[in-house]
Amino acid sequence: MRKFLALLLVSLVIAACTSSQITPDSVAPKPENESNFEVVLMSEVKWEQLNPARGDKSPKAGTLWGNRTGSGAAGFLLKPVDGFRSPPHIHNIAYRGVVISGTIHNDDPNAEEMWMPQGSFWTQPAGGVHITAAKGSNNLAYIEVEDKFGVLPAEKAFSSPEKPINVDISNIMWIDNLGMPAVSNGAKVAFLWGKLQDNQLYGTLIKLPAGFSGKIRSQGSIFRAVVIQGQPQYQVSSDADAKDLEPGSYFSSKGNSVHQVSSKAGEESIIYVRTDGKFDVT
């Protein structure tokens, strides 16, 4: 079922992205206000137990934005140890995940193992019984929720109209600049979820080729980005010092904004983006 859903997602990606009307000229940011920008380096993340009731058996979690233990949307890093395997459980709400390093398996307790490597994407609906496992010396994933996130025993399972999705990085469809004609800089995007409509949240991956130097221009009310692969350099303006963003680092902005990014020679970068407005990469 999950493999079928992965193929279905690829089809939806093509349809959604080719209908986009995003163009480089459509984004005209206002002058930058430093207070509208935020950067959280991986080295600055504060770690705690995801599920304190399980003590040391729980994966660690580090909040990037929002309040992970409170109400409202939030994004956080999940760090399970090598060989971690949760007991069957459910969550009170749905969540999305992107693998940053190591491999993650998330599925029905009786399903065949599907180990998702770096750059893979998955969703887990509310109420569905599942297990989560990790394999690797440095397992790390980005998790995103839309409200207060809880872990409950399998006995409290309930049905949901949503279906779980696992998409291996090899099945993700990359296109040029959200469906527009190919651009010379070689940057590509992959649509993951949501709707490409005004004021509607959606999620994408951006792939920057090795040696890339350019800008991500956003006109959404909020722009949130998490580095998944590579160590791109980032700066808000030409006057600011560039920061090296290792995987798991986060940057964001409010309103019309410009993010200057570059990839190291010989190393492409992948960045996950959550926003509610148009953006382009130039």
Q: What is the pLDDT of residues 32-55, one digit of tens each?
A: 556 689 999 999 999 999 988 888
**On the CB side of 9, how many CA atoms lie within 13 Å of its CA?**
29
**In terms of domains, do 146 and 216 share one?**
no
CA distance 193 to 280: 17
What distance, in Å, lies between the first and last C-alpha atoms of the chain? 38
CA distance 104 to 82: 10
Q: What is the DSSP letter of 140?
A: E
User: What is the greatest pairwise CA distance in the chain?
Assistant: 56
In this prediction the pTM is 0.87
**In terms of domains, do 221 and 138 share one?**
no
**In terms of domains, do 106 and 194 share one?**
no
**In terms of domains, do 176 and 151 share one?**
no
Centre a 10 Å sphere on the Cβ of residue 226 and count the other Cβ atoms it contains: 26
Per-residue confidence (pLDDT) for residue 35, from 0 to 100: 63
Q: Within a domain: residue 16? A: no
Average pLDDT of every residue of the chain? 86
Q: Within a domain: residue 2? A: no
Residue bearing tokens 């808000």: 236
Centre a 10 Å sphere on the Cβ of residue 111 and count the other Cβ atoms it contains: 15
Backbone angles phi, psi at 28, to 5 degrees: -130, 80
3-state helix, strand, coil in the chain (%, to 5): 15, 45, 45
Q: Within a domain: residue 8? A: no
CATH of the domain at 207: 2.60.120.10
CA distance 238 to 270: 23
| Model pLDDT for residues 109-155, shown as the tens digit of each residue | 999 999 999 999 999 999 999 999 999 999 999 999 999 999 999 99
Length of the chain in terms of residues written: 282
| Helical ranges in the chain per DSSP H | 2-18
**In terms of domains, do 76 and 149 share one?**
yes
Provide CB contacts within 8 A for 182, sequence distance 6+: 176
**In terms of domains, do 184 and 263 share one?**
yes
| Model pLDDT for residues 151-205, shown as the tens digit of each residue | 999 999 999 999 999 999 999 999 985 554 444 468 999 999 998 877 899 999 9
**In terms of domains, do 157 and 176 share one?**
no
Per-residue confidence (pLDDT) for residue 11, from 0 to 100: 41
Per-residue confidence (pLDDT) for residue 102, from 0 to 100: 98
Per-residue confidence (pLDDT) for residue 13, from 0 to 100: 43
Q: Which domain holds residue 228?
A: 21-41+172-281
Q: What is the DSSP letter of 82?
A: T
**In terms of domains, do 120 and 138 share one?**
yes
Contact at 8 Å (CB) between 1 and 193? no
**In terms of domains, do 268 and 186 share one?**
yes
Q: Within a domain: residue 10? A: no
**In terms of domains, do 208 and 181 share one?**
yes
**In terms of domains, do 119 and 180 share one?**
no
Number of folded domains that form the chain: 2
**In terms of domains, do 272 and 195 share one?**
yes
| Model pLDDT for residues 216-260, shown as the tens digit of each residue | 999 999 999 999 999 999 988 766 788 999 999 999 999 999 999
Q: Within a domain: residue 135? A: yes
